[in-house]
Chain A
Amino acid sequence: GAGVSQSPSNKVTEKGKDVELRCDPISGHTALYWYRQSLGQGLEFLIYFQGNSAPDKSGLPSDRFSAERTGGSVSTLTIQRTQQEDSAVYLCASRQSGQGAGSPLHFGNGTRLTVT
């Protein structure tokens, strides 16, 4: 595809509900990342997928957060029992790999999550 695609672009949910955020990476990109950006803040790493390797989940803030990547392409970030502090923009990024870490990262436009 032309770029990283994320859906929905905006999501408003009630506290306690579960949400799923979707990311379609650039075709052929084997590495996929999720980041979170709270208002006026920097980017907080959440999780990283690389091919068939076990994902690096070291940034997930709690066990309410999980992510999967099916078929090495599309990824879903799930937040269970949402809390107001989960409100943020969730950004997905992808890059080519098989080249070590030496390839640029490309971001989607993000999903703005608001928990009321």
Chain B
Amino acid sequence: GIQVEQSPPDLILQEGANSTLRCNFSDSVNNLQWFHQNPWGQLINLFYIPSGTKQNGRLSATTVATERYSLLYISSSQTTDSGVYFCAVNYNQGGKLIFGQGTELSVKP
């Protein structure tokens, strides 16, 4: 099956810093999503981005499907950005969404 790898596994930032999170996948995908799991365990949709670039406030994401990776950019980080960031993919036109292991982000004041 498809492999989804996220890096780095952990990241500590000072408030105001920028960061880039990466998601690599081993096969062609027809759907890719980024999620933020906050410290209370809630999973929040950030982006649905099978290809191209999207921006939402301080966050943006780019997926290069032909090269099998996606990047999540966080600019001017805030303490509320802390939590775990997951990418997840569908492949082979199937419905099953496979998750990476996540990047745990901690933003210090």
Contacts and interface: CB of A to CB of B under 8 A. Distances in A.
Contact of A42 (B42, B45, B50, B102): B102
A89 interface: yes
A102 B95 contact: no
B95 A50 contact: yes
B78 interface: no
A68 to B, nearest CB: 17
Interface size classification for chain A:
20 to 34
A101 B32 CA distance: 10
B96 A48 contact: yes
A42 B96 contact: no
A42 to B, nearest CB: 4
Interface residues of B, number: 23
B48 A58 contact: no
B86 A89 contact: no
Interface of B: 30-31, 33, 35, 41-43, 45, 48, 50, 86, 88, 90, 93-102
Given A33-B95, A43-B86, A101-B94, 12 more contacts: A45-B99, A50-B95, A56-B96, A58-B96, A93-B97, A100-B30, A101-B93, A102-B30, A102-B50, A103-B48, A107-B43, A110-B41
